[in-house]
């Protein structure tokens, strides 16, 4: 995926096919979303919840695909409105969802368990932070009021002394301690944490997912290259959209003898490259999730072939990937 508008030109094979047009992308996105929606709405995907590991895995496998589709849809809306930063945020969220979706699909129930552990880890961290803050706030209010009472008594004595000694320089009053006015959060995620039963909290970094996919790819037959470049794209998207980095702020500077601050980033758009990546990735996941359960996916299969990246650079829309 390109960061600057002209990145795709670097090292481009002159014989490579031209990148898809915005109109072709919109058509492909619409057709793919319609295909996935039709398949998942069919009776084949009305899944009886028997509580087995396979059924649980299958439900989350499909849910990850659905989430990818929703993010792709909203990325398309952002592209139509030329919302550059919204597109960058959605592209990053989509890429992370796609990686986790692939991980669940090819890693099976064991991978889903790791996602469950990570979810519990996040819930516990939030719950602990809320509990610690509420405890601190309650104690801070109590101690501030107690200090305030002591200061009030002291100030009362100072005031009386000042009144009794008008000829002497007045003694200054003590500052009354501030009592926090915030209310406790009252947040309690215990019930949601307990939903995870015996799963122990354990974080799951995106880099760990990427390494797992690199190992799984040749074993499961869905790739032969390392997934590490995709992780680097994910990191770049974080740096140019999700987090307020120096690079994000630099993009607003209009160069010249006198630098002005532009109303929007001026370092090029990634919208089309983001749509290409998200469209191909979603089609890839749809072919796997739906196709391996016997559902026909002609549109997803067509898009996979159309937008397949080529590390040699012959795919103009996949520079360096």
Strand partners, 254: 260
**What gap in Å lies between CA 99 and CA 134, rounded to an integer?**
36
Q: Are 106 and 70 in contact (CB under 8 A)?
A: no
The H-assigned helical ranges of 245-295 are 246-250, 271-291
The tens place of each residue's pLDDT in the chain, 321 residues long, gives 333 334 444 445 666 677 899 999 999 999 999 999 999 999 999 999 898 999 999 999 999 999 999 999 999 999 999 999 999 999 999 999 999 999 999 999 999 999 999 999 999 999 999 999 999 999 999 999 999 999 999 999 999 999 999 999 999 999 999 999 999 999 999 999 999 988 999 999 999 999 999 999 999 999 988 999 999 999 999 999 899 999 999 999 999 999 999 999 998 899 999 999 999 999 999 999 999 999 999 999 999 999 987 766 555 444 333
The per-residue b/e assignment along 75-113, b for 16 or more CB within 10 angstroms, e otherwise, is: bbebbeeebbebbbbbbbbbbbbbbbbbbbbbbbeebbb
Phi, psi angle pair for 253, to nearest 5°? -85, 125
pLDDT tens for each residue of 80-92: 999 999 999 999 9
**3-state DSSP call for residue 227?**
coil
Q: Are 275 and 1 in contact (CB under 8 A)?
A: no
* DSSP type of residue 243: S
């Amino acid at each position: 995926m390109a960061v600057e508008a002209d990145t795709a030109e670097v090292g481009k094979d002159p014989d490579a096919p031209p990148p898809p047009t915005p109109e072709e992308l919109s058509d492909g996105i619409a057709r793919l979303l319609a295909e996935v929606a039709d398949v998942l709405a069919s009776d084949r995907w009305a899944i009886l919840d028997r509580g087995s590991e396979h059924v649980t895995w299958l439900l989350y496998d499909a849910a990850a695909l659905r989430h990818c589709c929703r993010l792709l849809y909203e990325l398309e809306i952002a592209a139509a409105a030329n919302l550059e930063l919204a597109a960058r945020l959605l592209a990053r969220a989509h890429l992370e969802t796609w990686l986790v979706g692939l991980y669940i699909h090819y890693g099976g129930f064991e991978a889903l368990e790791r996602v469950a552990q990570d979810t519990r880890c996040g819930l516990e961290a939030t719950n602990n932070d809320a509990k610690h803050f509420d405890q601190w706030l309650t104690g801070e209010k109590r101690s501030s009021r107690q200090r305030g009472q002591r200061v009030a008594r002291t100030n009362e004595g100072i005031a009386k002394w000042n009144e009794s000694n008008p000829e002497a320089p007045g003694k200054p009053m003590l500052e009354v301690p501030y009592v926090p006015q915030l209310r406790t959060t009252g947040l309690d995620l215990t019930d949601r944490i307990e939903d995870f039963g015996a799963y122990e909290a354990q974080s799951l970094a995106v880099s760990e997912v990427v390494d797992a996919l690199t190992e799984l790819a040749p074993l499961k037959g869905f790739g032969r290259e390392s997934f590490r470049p995709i992780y680097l794209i994910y990191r770049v998207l974080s740096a140019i959209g999700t987090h307020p980095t120096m690079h994000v702020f630099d993009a607003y500077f209009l160069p010249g003898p006198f630098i002005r601050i532009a109303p929007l980033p001026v370092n090029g758009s990634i919208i089309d490259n983001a749509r290409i990546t998200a469209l191909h990735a979603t089609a890839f996941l749809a072919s796997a999730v739906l196709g391996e359960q016997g559902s026909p996916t002609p549109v997803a299969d067509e898009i996979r072939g159309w937008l397949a990246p080529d590390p040699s650079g012959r795919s103009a829309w996949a520079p360096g990937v």
